[in-house]
Amino acid sequence: MANGSAAIRSGIAFAAAIAATPLAAQSYQCRLPDSIAVPRIAPDAAPRRLPVTGYTLALSWAPEFCRTREDNPGHARQCSGRDGRFGLVVHGLWPDSGRSWPQWCRARAPVAADMRRNLCLSPSARLLAKQWAKHGSCMAKRPATYFKVTRILYQGLQIPDFDRISREEDLTAGTVRTRFVDANRGWRADAIGVHLNSRGWLEELRLCYDKRFMPTTCDRQRRGARDKGAVKIWRGL
């Protein structure tokens, strides 16, 4: 476990150095609440304390996630449209450990103010609290550090226009990777996982980093669809 490690500090410095114009989760709109409650999160599996060998930044495509959840109270902030409309949102920043991953390390409760800063990146207080408890606790001592690293990594990205990409003919996972690389200096296609649901619609991108938060080759599990695999992107508008 790399609590307080030089890897976290160097990752912040690297991401900040290449940061592009910040995008609020490619949100078309985002309204922050005046205050939020911090949900209580109970572990759903045994702790797994393992050495950190790299990281994954998982970015969920909100229009597809919300396609059947617009009226679900548990996903109202992301899906109802009352607090904004979102594109790619941060599912989570996950530490990796070879073929496994650390999880549910001992965690202190997050502070509402720290979570609020990420609500336009991850538009769910429960999602933020769970990601810290399950994943962030295995890579940082303080939740504020985990949320800050997540913000800096995301804000160091230029998100392509997925509405436009969705209209391309014969769209493939390779095309999605190419469009992302074209928009982001220093990235390469083999560091970008493209995950589809069972019906072939874009569900998530998984960006693969090494211990220094530099883009690295995704393993098979994180890579997802092959380059020639057909992709559909639900615009939700």
Residues 41-94 have pLDDT tens digits of 999 999 999 999 999 999 999 999 999 998 899 999 999 988 888 999 999 999
| pLDDT > 80? residue 33 | yes
| pLDDT > 60? residue 18 | no
| pLDDT > 70? residue 11 | no
Distance CA 34, CA 191 (A): 37
| pLDDT > 50? residue 2 | no
Averaged over 82-111, what is the pLDDT? 93
The 3-state DSSP class for residue 129 equals helix
What is the four-CA torsion angle of 81, 84, 85, 87, rounded to 10 degrees? -140
Pairing between strand 88-96 and 54-61? Answer: antiparallel
